[in-house]
RNA sequence: AGGACUAUAGCUCAGUUGGUUAGAGCGCUACCUUGACAUGGUAGAGGUCCCCAGUUCAAAUCUGGGUAGUCCUACCA
């Protein structure tokens, strides 16, 4: 074995072995356990959020697989309608071609080509993370089989009256020429203006002043509204206004939606271009006057002068024209929320179009019940509130998109505009008796991507066929996802699955936090603070990292800023930490759903942890194998691997086995409560601070000295290799590669069998293996050793220097412990001698430490300075005195003694007694020093 | 405007039903190349648990009120 752990040397090989041997497939035996991957965008690449999420899922999957469950991790990718279409359009654009030049069929061919070419990126990256999904059933939401499910759902919902077509205001992206959902619109506060226009009354008796942030929409005004109680305007209600620039006569109406306090108290109403105005238009039966075309240019419903103008050019001109007519009252600065498309960044327009909708309320009612009734549980729980608040106020879902890439809507129209829904044109003709000579045309639109991903949990398993897979793995166990797509995806999966399967899609939703950079900033390309998980695994030099972060950056000063900040934060680039260290970092930060700040310092610590495991294993192998000069095995030592029982266990052996049980329990509790931070912490602590720091150190005196018998040596070898082997299995779900690599070499020495650690049994805590006596004895041993080390450390005694040690004021138990552990003490505390003092025995002048009641004494002669020791003792005394004061205060308070439970009072009394006894001894010691 | 979450060591975070000497990792200081590991070892320093009030014998923990930050949801033309 190499002296340091080299992740790159092993990861790829093990992954290929696992995949080629089909270890990721469900075993077909045991209780089913299933996770559906949230399908990543097929054209995307792995970011830190994916890395976090996939690592969690893989830990759960590997954990349950090792527990003997019939485990399926269903994998696949999403066709991501808008995102993918945009990518391909951009590519074509570079060659000066638009998708319309190509035509729909050719364009879709291009998209498929692009998918074939780049669609494998993210799945390759998933493999680098060590993810163990069943690749043999990988699905894509545009697969033929999946399309069948999508079509079936659409048709059934239509037939059940839950899908309808209607002309409504939608969020229109003028760049993409499609409707987008509320959730795809981001509103940010921006600086703008509030223009105040004078609208003259038709009868010439004056004017009203209306304020607007979007002057161009005035071309479509169909009323002016005031509050019915507004004394200023009450008398004008029912009169009309002659709309400037347009000349249309529009009514002044009363509606209590109007806020009298805001602006002038008069509102222009444009029902075709504003959601609130649309509703008011419905109430007052106002005409809908659409003045835009698909590009958000002024259309022919407006005066000729403005026709064909871009909306923002028209805005400018309209303001100028108002000014010219002396109808511009004033312009105020105004902050407003501007809705922008999350993909394109252009301002979204409320726009009147024909769209398909899902009537959501009936579905939502059931979906709410499923969570209220506990059939679905969110972890952490507070996300249920978020879910409820959205579901209780849900709007009908617009599912049509004016795109080419996606599931085409299975609806056909005849020349009279009648609509027929069916599985194919043939079926539609047959079912509706439409003659062959009647022309039918399929709807051009495709379905919202979330419509298909909403079927993910059952569509991937063969639905609408009632397959074995479906029966076995539905409902799935847990969905692991970010809170940002609870509405987009989780809620929709719940609604659709309940409707079509009459069961929940999953019983638990584990919501994890967002991965941020080390300063808590959201990682984004434009901020230039993204970390690529693969770079953390493989490492990257500074120049490449800078190039990567600034690549595609158009704005020069941003480029410079990012370059500067990158060079400052990572002056040496990123080291190659390996997959296991990356994964462990994720786990250590995965507490209760809060956002995680990813600090590279953490991953370095876990790389070191991997190295620790590696080297501990080297040590174990050195002792359990017969090795040649290169460290290769030439033979095995007798570690009891043949089942023989001629061995003897030391107190350390019994102790580490006890500690192992506790670690197994803690890891299981952590994983099962989705507290991967606690699980990883428990494991780290056991491996580093128990097994390496103490157990392996305690093994050295046994293995290297003639004072121990062959049976004792064998007991130690047996324990050390078996505990290591078990620990590897315990750690495997979290760190798959290093555990497999080492396990392969130790398994036979530990008497274990199997081709891979992946399918070996998960270690389960066995309380009967916990040896309380061994636990307290080793604590005693540690206490003595730490006492000596403390004196050494503070008194600057070289660790190389052997010293004599005396024990005073000890109990029978102390004496027993000393007798049984002298050899350990001598080695671990580098003692020259250990001498038990009976009552009355003269002790040399010494530095002192306390282990319970017992004093341990390091003679000062030639080693320790009186002043230094006095200072050290005083420091200790001060510390204790502070606590004594506090505890005495408590005990002197009669209310405490009366009201607190007896055991709490007793505990305080014991504490005080211990401290006072310690104080007495330390002060006595100081006294002795002072006499000199 | 409404709601949620967060505030603990220099940094990143744990801290169960109120009773701990408030912990871990990283960083810091000193010493140590001892034969698994310097990606290491030993020892140490470092905390007004955001502030104020309350409940209680007892509050990092419970309640109320602030402050700061993050994020949702709804937004007024």
pLDDT at residue A499, rounded to an integer: 95
Residue nearest to nucleotide B24 (CA to C1'): A681
Q: Of all helices (H) and strands (E), which one includes residue A839?
A: none
pLDDT by residue (tens digit) across A169-190? 889 998 888 888 877 888 877 7
pLDDT at A731 over 70: yes
Q: Of all helices (H) and strands (E), which one includes residue A253?
A: strand A249-254
Q: Which nucleotide comes closest to A879 if you measure CA to C1'?
A: B21
pLDDT at A861 over 70: yes
| Whether A601 CB is under 7 Å from strand B | yes
pLDDT at A55 over 70: yes
Distance CA A268, CA A266 (A): 7
Q: Nearest to residue A788, comparing CAs of A868, A867, A850?
A: A850
- Per the listing, tokens 């080793």 go with A778
Q: Nearest to residue A348, comparing CAs of A179, A219, A214?
A: A179
pLDDT at residue A340, rounded to an integer: 85
Chain A 480-509 residues whose Cβ is under 7 Å from strand B = 487
Mean of all residue pLDDT scores within chain A: 90
Q: Which nucleotide comes closest to A188 if you measure CA to C1'?
A: B75
* Mean pLDDT confidence for A786-810: 88
- Which positions in strand B are less than 7 Å from the protein's CB atoms? 3-6, 11-15, 19, 21, 24-27, 30-45, 56-58, 70-77
Q: What's the length of chain A?
A: 932
Chain A 246-275 residues whose Cβ is under 7 Å from strand B = 257-263, 265, 267-268, 274-275
Please report which confidence band the pLDDT of residue A555 belongs to, taking 50, 70 and 90 as the band edges: confident
Distance A562 CA to B47 C1' (A): 36
From the CB of residue A201, how many other CB atoms can be counted at a distance below 10 Å? 16
pLDDT at A823 over 80: yes
pLDDT at residue A536, rounded to an integer: 94
pLDDT by residue (tens digit) across A216-244? 999 989 989 888 888 888 888 888 898 88
Percent of chain A with pLDDT over 90: 50
Burial profile A109-123: b = 16 or more Cβ within 10 angstroms, e = fewer: ebbeebbeeebeebb
pLDDT at A660 over 90: yes
Q: Nearest to residue A536, comparing CAs of A808, A101, A128, A85?
A: A128
pLDDT at residue A741, rounded to an integer: 96
Burial profile A635-671: b = 16 or more Cβ within 10 angstroms, e = fewer: ebbbbbbeeeeebbbbbbbbbbbbbbbbbbbbbbebb
Percent of chain A with pLDDT over 70: 100
Task: Flag the least confident range among A139-143, A208-212, A255-259.
Answer: A255-259
| Whether A305 CB is under 7 Å from strand B | no
pTM: 0.92
Chain A 577-596 residues whose Cβ is under 7 Å from strand B = 589, 591-592, 594-596
Task: Flag the least confident range among A130-139, A165-174, A466-475, A730-739.
Answer: A165-174
Please report which confidence band the pLDDT of residue A740 belongs to, taking 50, 70 and 90 as the band edges: very high
Chain A 375-394 residues whose Cβ is under 7 Å from strand B = 382, 385-386, 389-390
**End-to-end Cα distance, chain A:** 57
| Whether A644 CB is under 7 Å from strand B | no
Chain A 333-352 residues whose Cβ is under 7 Å from strand B = 336-337
pLDDT at residue A893, rounded to an integer: 85
* Mean pLDDT confidence for A78-97: 87
β-bridge mates for residue A635, sequence order:
A626
Q: Which nucleotide comes closest to A390 if you measure CA to C1'?
A: B73
ipTM of the complex: 0.95
Distance A839 CA to B32 C1' (A): 37
Distance A623 CA to B43 C1' (A): 30
Cis peptide before A23 (omega within 30 of 0): no
| Radius of gyration of the CA atoms of chain A, in A | 37
pLDDT at A593 over 70: no
Chain A 1-20 residues whose Cβ is under 7 Å from strand B = 3-5
Distance CA A832, CA A844 (A): 15
Q: List the structure tokens of A776.
A: 């307290």
DSSP A463-524: TTS--HHHHHH-SEEEEEEEGGGIIIIIHHHHHHHHHHHSS-SEEEEEEE--EE-TTSPBP-
Distance set, CA A191 to CA A275, A320, A336 (Å): 21, 20, 6
| Whether A911 CB is under 7 Å from strand B | yes
| Three-state DSSP class for residue A224 | strand
* Mean pLDDT confidence for A256-261: 82
Burial (0-12, 13-18, 19+ Cβ within 10 Å), A14: buried
Q: Which nucleotide comes closest to A581 if you measure CA to C1'?
A: B39
| Whether A700 CB is under 7 Å from strand B | yes
| Whether A572 CB is under 7 Å from strand B | no
* Mean pLDDT confidence for A475-489: 88
Classify residue A165 by its DSSP letter.
E
pLDDT at A568 over 90: no
Sign of torsion over alpha carbons A46, A48, A50, A56: positive
């Amino acid at each position: 074995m190499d002296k340091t752990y080299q992740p790159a040397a092993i990861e790829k090989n093990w992954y290929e072995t696992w995949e080629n041997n089909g270890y990721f497939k469900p075993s077909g035996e045991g209780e089913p356990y299933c996770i559906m991957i949230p399908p990543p965008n097929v054209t995307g690449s792995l970011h830190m959020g994916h890395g976090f999420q996939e690592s969690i899922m893989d830990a759960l999957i590997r954990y349950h697989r090792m527990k003997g469950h019939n485990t399926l991790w269903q994998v696949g990718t999403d066709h991501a309608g808008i995102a993918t279409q945009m990518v391909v359009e951009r590519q074509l654009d570079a060659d000066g071609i638009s998708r319309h030049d190509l035509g729909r069929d050719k364009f879709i061919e291009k998209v498929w080509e692009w998918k074939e070419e780049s669609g494998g990126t993210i799945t390759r990256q998933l493999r680098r993370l060590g993810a163990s999904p069943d690749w043999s059933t990988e699905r894509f939401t545009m697969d033929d089989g999946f399309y069948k499910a999508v079509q079936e759902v659409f048709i059934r919902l239509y037939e059940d009256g839950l899908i309808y077509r209607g002309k409504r205001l939608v969020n229109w992206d003028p760049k993409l020429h499609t409707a987008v959902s509320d959730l795809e619109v981001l509103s940010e506060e921006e600086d703008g203006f509030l223009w105040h226009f004078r609208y003259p009354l038709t009868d010439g008796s004056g004017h009203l002043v209306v304020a607007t942030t979007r002057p161009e929409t005035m071309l479509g005004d169909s009323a002016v509204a005031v509050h019915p109680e507004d004394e200023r305007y009450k008398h004008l209600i029912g009169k009309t206004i002659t709309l400037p620039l347009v000349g249309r006569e529009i009514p002044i109406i009363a509606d209590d939606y109007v806020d009298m306090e805001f602006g002038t108290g008069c509102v222009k109403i444009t029902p075709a271009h504003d959601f609130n105005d649309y509703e008011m238009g419905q109430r007052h039966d106002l005409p809908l006057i659409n003045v835009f075309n698909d590009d958000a240019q002024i259309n022919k419903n407006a005066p000729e002068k403005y026709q064909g103008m871009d909306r923002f050019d028209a805005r400018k001109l309209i303001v100028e024209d108002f000014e010219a007519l002396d109808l511009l009252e004033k312009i105020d600065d105004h902050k407003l929320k501007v809705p922008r498309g999350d993909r394109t960044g252009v301002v979204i327009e409320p726009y009147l179009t024909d769209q398909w909708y899902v009537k959501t309320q009936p579905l939502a009612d059931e979906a709410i019940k499923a969570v209220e009734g506990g059939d679905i549980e969110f972890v952490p729980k507070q996300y249920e509130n978020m879910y409820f608040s959205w579901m209780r106020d849900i709007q009908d879902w617009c599912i049509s998109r004016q795109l080419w890439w996606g599931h085409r809507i299975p609806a056909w129209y005849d020349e009279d505009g009648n609509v027929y829904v069916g599985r194919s044109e043939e079926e539609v003709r047959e079912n509706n008796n439409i003659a062959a000579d009647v022309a039918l045309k399929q709807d051009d639109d495709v379905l919202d991507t979330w419509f298909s991903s909403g079927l993910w949990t059952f569509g991937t398993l063969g639905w609408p066929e009632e397959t074995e897979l479906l029966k076995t793995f539905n409902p799935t166990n847990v969905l692991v996802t970010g809170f940002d797509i609870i509405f987009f995806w989780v809620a929709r999966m719940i609604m659709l699955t309940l409707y079509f399967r009459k069961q929940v899609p999953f019983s638990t939703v584990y919501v994890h936090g967002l991965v941020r950079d080390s300063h808590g900033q959201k990682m984004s390309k434009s901020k230039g603070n993204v970390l690529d998980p693969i770079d953390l695994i493989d490492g990257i030099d500074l120049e490449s990292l800078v190039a990567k972060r600034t690549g595609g950056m158009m704005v020069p000063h941003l480029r410079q800023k990012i370059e500067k900040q990158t060079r400052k934060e990572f002056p040496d680039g990123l080291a190659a930490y390996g997959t296991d260290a990356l994964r462990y970092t994720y786990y250590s930060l995965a507490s209760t759903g809060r956002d995680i700040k990813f600090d590279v310092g953490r991953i370095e610590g876990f790389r070191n942890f991997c190295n620790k495991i590696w080297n501990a294993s080297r040590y174990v192998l050195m002792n359990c194998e017969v090795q040649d000069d290169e460290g290769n095995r030439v033979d095995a030592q007798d570690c009891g691997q043949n089942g023989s029982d001629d061995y003897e266990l030391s107190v350390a052996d019994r102790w580490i086995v006890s500690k192992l049980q506790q670690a197994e329990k803690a890891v299981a509790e952590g994983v099962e409560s989705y507290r991967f931070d606690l699980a990883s912490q428990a494991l780290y602590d056991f491996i580093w601070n128990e097994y390496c720091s103490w157990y392996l150190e305690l093994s050295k005196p046994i293995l290297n000295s003639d004072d121990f018998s062959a049976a004792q040596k064998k007991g130690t070898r047996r324990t050390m290799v078996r505990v290591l082997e078990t620990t590897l299995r315990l750690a495997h779900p979290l760190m798959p590669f290093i555990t497999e690599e080492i396990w392969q070499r130790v398994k036979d020495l530990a008497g274990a069998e199997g081709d891979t650690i992946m399918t070996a049994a998960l270690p389960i805590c066995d309380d009967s293996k916990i040896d309380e006596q061994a636990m307290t004895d080793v604590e005693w041993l540690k206490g003595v050793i730490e006492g000596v080390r403390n004196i050494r450390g503070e008194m600057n005694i070289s660790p190389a220097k052997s010293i004599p040690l005396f024990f005073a004021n000890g109990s029978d138990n102390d004496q027993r412990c000393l007798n049984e552990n002298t050899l350990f003490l001598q080695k671990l505390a580098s003692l020259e001698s250990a001498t038990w003092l009976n009552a009355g025995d003269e002790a040399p002048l010494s530095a002192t430490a306390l282990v319970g009641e017992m004093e341990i004494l390091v003679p000062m002669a030639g080693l320790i300075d009186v002043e230094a020791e006095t200072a050290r003792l005083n420091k200790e005394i001060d510390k204790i005195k502070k606590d004594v004061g506090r505890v005495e205060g408590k005990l002197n308070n009669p209310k405490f003694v009366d009201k607190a439970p007896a055991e709490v009072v007793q505990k305080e009394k014991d504490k005080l007694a211990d401290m006072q006894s310690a104080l007495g001894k330390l002060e006595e010691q100081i006294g002795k020093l002072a006499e000199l």
